[in-house]
Structure 1
Amino acid sequence: MVRLFGTDGVRGVANRDLTAELALDLAVAAAHVLGDVGAFEGHRPAAVVGRDPRASGEFLECAVVAGLASAGVDVRRVGILPTPAIAHLTEAMAADLGVMLSASHNPMPDNGIKFFARGGHKLPDAVEDAIERRMREKWERPIGSAVGRIRDDVGAEERYVDHLLASLPHRLDGLRVVVDCAHGAAYRVAPAALERAGADVIAVGAEPDGRNINEGCGSTYVERL
Structure 2
Amino acid sequence: MPEPPDVGKVHLWLLDVRPCIAAEADALELLDDEERARAERLCCPRARAQFVRTRAGLRRILATYLAVPPRSVPIAYGAHGKPRMPCGRLRFNVSHAGGAALLAFASECEVGVDLERIETIDAAEILTTWASPRDYAAWRASSPGDRLAALYRGWVRKEAILKAWGCGFSVAPQELDVPMSARAGEHIVVGTALHRPNCRVLDVPIGSSWTAALAVEGDAPCTASFIVQPA
Common fold by TM > 0.5: no
Which structure carries more helix by proportion? 2
TM-score by length of 2: 0.28
TM-score by length of 1: 0.29
